[in-house]
Structure 1
Amino acid sequence: MKKTAPATKRATKPATRTARAAAKKAARPKKPQPLDAIVGADGLARPPWAAVDPLLKHYYDTEWGMPVRDERGLFERLSLEAFQSGLSWATILRKRDAFREAFAGFDPDVVATFGDKDVERLLADERIIRNRAKILATIANAAATIRLRDEGGLVALIWSFQPHTTPAPRTIAEIPTTSDESIALSKALRKRGFVFVGPTTMHALMEATGIVDTHLVDSHRRGSSGVWPRD
């Protein structure tokens, strides 16, 4: 008579195979995240954050890293960087037109006059980031921008922290998030009454406005600002 395996052994075989398969899968090397420039269908190399989303791609190709040397332009960038804290830049870009409308085109002279009714209006505006602290910070920074005119203005102060050299990152991991200059700029602005201007936020501002060039070396935008050579 043909012998059959005990039921317990038959039951353990599928479980063993499943465990082995799971272990094998876990042992496979994980797909690495992109750390360098990605060449798009148009043949142009961009960092991963600007390589897929059409809005971010357009912003990267046409605006990010280009010099901003007017008061209203820098006040807008300063304000949007503050609102971006803790959020994605794509979120801010999608709301940018609404921000401009809500904050009077980021005219410091107008924003500095905002009172309680304006704060409540902004908190009720679903098109923007409804964060009371950031709204109040924008109003306070508008007033600080006006006061700063007696010292030469916002543009002169921010650009005075342009470093002598700029990073030359080949991978995302090599891009700094702060610098000695961004720390010093943060302190200088805080001393003059600005808020939501931490070193990381100021470094992002310096990158976005061409004060430093942190485009990846392989990026098609490297050196395109006219402020820094391509290397």
Structure 2
Amino acid sequence: MRQIVLDTETTGLDPKAGHRIIEIGCVELLNRRITQNRFHVYINPEREIDAGAIEVHGLTNEFLAGKPVFKSIAEDFLNFVGGAELIIHNAAFDVGFLDHELSLLGENRGRIADYCGVCDTLAMARKNHPGQRNSLDALCKRYNVDNSRRELHGALLDAEILADVYLAMTGGQIAMLLDADGEPGGVSGSGGAEGRLEREQAAPRSVNTSRPPLRVIRSTPEEAEAHAARLEAIAKANSGNCLWSR
């Protein structure tokens, strides 16, 4: 499962008023594990930035003057996010701007939903925590995610923070699975389920009946208590649902 945590910075609040994207930051998740694969670019918006927007993100007209325009980075961006699920906080805002940028290309490029799915973490947070503040900073505090570097908004930094928040909201990272040979599993190719099935069919394993029975190690009361507390935390973060508690 490939997901892309995405954030943008813009010249203002409304693409219908001619505002443009000036920064895109993306962080890749593979099978709920944060990878080192990033997409980050500053963009010349070909227009002035609102003073209020500069106070939020600190990006100036002078800084962006020599940066590429959206059209020149569009193909690389779409190739990076294509086929993935976008994880966005307040997705309507970022998707609205991305759709606007695609419409300006004049090449019938469609909408961002034509390239990938979208998950809105703001809608998810409002469902899990109704009546509470659900800004990114509020969620960082709620889920103990470090946002101390966030003095100003920045697309890549905010995407990195949101990746940690999203994983905390949905149960944490999943450790790498190992198949029966101790080899890393995967989602495609010979490392995935199909590859493991092919190896098992090609070389069926025999059972060693001569070895002594395996030891059974019971959990201590302290370990059982810690396990129960972890399941309770997972359920709390997922509207009371925890698969392992059923």
State TM-score, norm by structure 2. Answer: 0.24
More helix by share: 1
More strand by share: 2
Q: Which has the larger radius of gyration?
A: 1
Q: Identify which of structures 1 and 2 has the higher relative contact order when contacts are C-alpha pairs closer than 8 Å and 6+ apart.
A: 1
